[in-house]
Amino acid sequence: MFDFLIVGAGFAGSVLAERLARGSGKKVLLIDRRTHIAGNAYDHYDDAGVLIHKYGPHIFHTNSKEVFAYLSRFTEWRPYEHRVLASVDGQLVPMPINLDTINKLYGLTLNSMQLEDFFASIAEPKERILTSEDVVISKVGRQLYEKFFRNYTRKQWGLDPSDLDASVTSRVPIRMNRDDRYFTDTYQAMPLRGYTRMFENMLDHPNIKIMLNTDYRDVVGLIPYREMIYTGPVDEFFDFCYGKLPYRSLQFKFETINKSVYQPAPVVNYPNEHAYTRVTEFKYLTGQEHGKTSIVYEYPCSQGDPYYPVPRPENAELYKKYRTLAEQTPGVHFVGRLATYKYYNMDQVTAQALTVYDKLSGGKKFRFDDMPVRTYYQVLLPCPLSIADDEQPVTVSQTVSQDATTPAINKNLTPVHAQHNRALNGNGATRIANKA
């Protein structure tokens, strides 16, 4: 008898599996219908030996020291600040729009104070900010809206910004200085040996059994369990009884190029040209050194894997109906991006899962001393941490873990490729049962 059947081995399901097994001694069966763990964060080595993200670039960033400390138990980190250029008017300029973007685009030499005046002169204030178009035009005026946002948003969402919630573009800040980082979070880093390896470490516990390539519906009547944690799409769980919740999807086109560097930034956005929205070059993210390089083009589309909940009021209303059903379903806990129909980043899903764990374990906060003893070594991001009131503050530079066998510096990830595949094939630390 399993204490928990967990549907979905992404961040939501895996964090809960880890906590329930290691923190509370529960027996857990973790099921995913994909052939791998790690959900959308899954990364692997392509045929050329370059580490790529199968479901598009995943950049880790958070302001939560608790989330960063928790994940640091399962990975070392590589400091990484994400940068994006946008192809506009035949030039590559920093995105989000900053002082350099405007000076380069218009051939000006403004300083920060003058830039504020510049924006004030072109902004078109709106009495009520209702749509994404209102957000952008009220901040930077119509011309920059047309150059950077309108067509990108149309491609990304299949909708004009005037038909999209204000929340979509309020995520895109405008900078008065020359800061060209895409994110400004306190903690910005990538798992040194990739997300999949981090998940393998997380799920390496005798109380966790993993079944891949298995839809939970195929086994739900056959395997006894006490409670379920469901991280799949909430509408699917209820057989779409109120209709389908709309999602935007992506087609990915991967390419390997026979030179070591392809483009001048990790991501180049194409707001106005091409059917794809952006091109990502993975080696910038992973720090891997390799004679070849791999990139991915993203083509937004309406059919395919559910990636982005479409933020429109009628969809929020539809979700509310499913949420009411979910609340009335005893013994099933709905957690994660798909089960709560929210665009959550990885850190937000981790935080949500840790909060659910706290509730399931009777309000007890997760503690560092629940965790296994690992080897720690000098690390990358010094940041003081304090998790529970009754614990000593911990410093991440003391807590990031390192297997004794792992090379300390990410000079060449290729040897890990073989280890990584062994682990996925079931000969490594993680016990994985693939359905026949």
Ligand X SMILES: Cc1cc2nc3c(=O)[nH]c(=O)nc-3n(C[C@H](O)[C@H](O)[C@H](O)COP(=O)(O)OP(=O)(O)OC[C@H]3O[C@@H](n4cnc5c(N)ncnc54)[C@H](O)[C@@H]3O)c2cc1C
Residues forming the site for ligand X (CB under 6 A) = 7-13, 31-34, 39-41, 55-59, 215-216, 231-232, 250, 307, 336-338, 344-347, 349
At residue 222, what are phi and psi to the nearest 5 degrees? -100, -30
Least spacing, CB of residue 283 vs ligand X, in Å: 16
Least spacing, CB of residue 357 vs ligand X, in Å: 14
Contact criterion met (CB below 8 Å) for 190 and 286:
yes
CB atoms within 10 A of CB 313: 8
Nearer Cβ to ligand X (161/266): 266
CA distance 43 to 378: 25
Nearer Cβ to ligand X (40/207): 40
Least spacing, CB of residue 236 vs ligand X, in Å: 7
Nearer Cβ to ligand X (103/153): 153
Least spacing, CB of residue 349 vs ligand X, in Å: 4
Between helices 414-424 and 195-202, what is the axis angle to 10°?
40
Nearer Cβ to ligand X (29/349): 349
CA distance 272 to 148: 8
Least spacing, CB of residue 433 vs ligand X, in Å: 13
Least spacing, CB of residue 257 vs ligand X, in Å: 21
Nearer Cβ to ligand X (75/231): 231
CA distance 308 to 369: 37
Least spacing, CB of residue 115 vs ligand X, in Å: 28
Nearer Cβ to ligand X (76/298): 298
117: CB partners within 8 A, 6+ apart: none
Distances (CA, A) of 207 to 2, 136, 400, 432: 9, 50, 24, 13
Least spacing, CB of residue 298 vs ligand X, in Å: 7
Nearer Cβ to ligand X (43/347): 347
Query: What DSSP line would sit under 110-178, residue for residue?
Result: --HHHHHHHHHHH----SS--BHHHHHHHHHHHHHIIIIIIHHHHHHHSS-GGGSBTTTGGGS---SSS
Contact criterion met (CB below 8 Å) for 70 and 353:
no
Nearer Cβ to ligand X (7/95): 7
Contact criterion met (CB below 8 Å) for 68 and 396:
yes
- Pairing mode, if any, of strands 267-269 and 2-7? unpaired
Nearer Cβ to ligand X (105/296): 296
Least spacing, CB of residue 248 vs ligand X, in Å: 9
Contact criterion met (CB below 8 Å) for 46 and 194:
no
CA distance 231 to 37: 13
